[in-house]
Chains A and B, each alone.
Chain A
Amino acid sequence: MSEEVLEIVMKKDIKFDGPIAIEGFPDVGLAGTIATMHLIESLKLEEIAYIETSFLPPVMVVHNGELLHPVRIYGNERLIVLTSEIALPLTVLNPLVKKVVEWLKGLNVKMLIALTGFPVENRLEIEKPEVYAVVSKKEFSEMLSKYKIEVLQEGFISGLYALFLKECLKAGLPAIALVAQSFLKYPDPGAAAELLNSLNSLLSLNVDVKPLIENAEEIRLKARDLLRQTERVTSSAYRNVEGELPLMYR
C-alpha cells in the first residue's frame, strides 16, 4: 500500500521577512477564494510554492498552456497567499491545515488571516455585506475595533477557518478570520470585495475592489463549478452548528 503524501513544495527561493499569510481556500460563497485570487492578480504575486498530496484527486490545472497544481501558494517576502482551484475534501482538511500552519510557523509568519463567508438567508437584500472577525487571541479585538470590524463574542464557528484558527491557537501563531455575509449556494464577488476592503484597512494594502463588482457576472459564471464542487464536499458535514447558541453563553 502506498504511503500518504502531503508536502509543501517551494518553487522559488524567498527570504521571508516576517510575512503575513492569507488563506482563501474554497468555502461558503467562495468569498475567500475569489478575494485571494483577485489579491494575487492585483498585486501581481508570483507562485512560490504548491501543495503536493495524495489526499486530493488526481487533478492538475492548465493556465495559458502552463501546467499547475490546483492548490497553490503565492507571495513575496512580506505576504503569503494560499488558494485552491479545487474543493478540498473533508479527509484532507485536518492534515492539510496542520501542515500549512506548521510550515507558516517555520517561516516566522507574523499572523494568519483567513478569508471566508458565512451564509445569510437575506443576502439578496443586502447591498454591502458586513464583515466580522473571529480572533485567536482576545487582545486582537481592540486592534480590530480601530478598523470598525466587529469581533464575534459568542457562538460556534465551523469549517475550514475554524480548523485554521484551532491549529494556529495550538501552534501559538496569531490568527484572525475575516468573515463576510455571503450567499451559500452562489459565488459571491460582493462578499469577496468587502473582505478585501477590510484587508486593505488592516494591512494598508491598496487593492482596487471595483473589478470584482464590475465583473461580478463573469466571476459568478466562472466560479460555478468550484462552488458546486465545494458544496458537494462540505454540505451537511459542517456549517450546521453555526448559528446555534452555545450552552455556556455569558
Chain B
Amino acid sequence: MGFPEDFDSLWDDVEGCMEPLVEVRETYDAFEIYVDLPYVRGESIEVRFSEDALLVIAKCSKAIKFNKWGFSQKRTEYKFFRKLIKLSHKIDPKKATSSFKNGVLRIRVPKLQ
C-alpha cells in the first residue's frame, strides 16, 4: 500500500495539518521511531504501516491558531499532525509495539528477516 508524499514545510495552511518532528533510530534488527506530538492525546493517534514505511496521523486535542502569524497562516486552524516515515528496510508491522509518554510517540518495529 502506498502513501501520499509528505510536504516540505512543517505547516500546511491549506489542510491545517502539521508535520511532526521525528527521530528514527536503527539497530541491526529493528527501528525505533520517536514522533513529537504536542497537543495530542494518546487515543487520537493512528499509525498505518506499509512494507517499508509508516504513516502517523494524530488529531490535536484543540485547534491551534496563531492570530498574528504570517500572511495566510493567521487564518488557519491547525488540527492534526501527519507524517510519512520511510524506512531503509522492510518491516514486520505485526510485531510493532508502541507507547506514548509526555507527548512523544515511540514505535518499535522489527525488520523483516
Residues of A within 8 A of B (CB): 64, 121, 124, 184-186, 216-218, 220-221, 224-225, 227-228
Contacts and interface: CB of A to CB of B under 8 A. Distances in A.
B106 A186 contact: no
A188 B52 CA distance: 30
A187 to B, nearest CB: 8
Nearest to A119: B23
Given A64-B68, A124-B104, A221-B18, 12 more contacts: A124-B102, A124-B106, A185-B21, A185-B23, A186-B23, A186-B36, A217-B39, A218-B38, A220-B36, A220-B38, A221-B38, A225-B10
Given A124-B34, A186-B104, A217-B103, A224 B21 contact: yes
Given A124-B106, A220-B103, A225-B10, A185 B22 contact: yes
B49 to A, nearest CB: 22
Contacts of B18: 221
Interface of B: 10, 18, 21-23, 25, 34, 36, 38-39, 64, 68, 101-104, 106
A162 to B, nearest CB: 23
A199 B109 CA distance: 41
B100 to A, nearest CB: 10
A213 to B, nearest CB: 11
A240 to B, nearest CB: 15
A217 B21 contact: no
B56 to A, nearest CB: 14
A227 B21 CA distance: 9
A228 B66 CA distance: 20
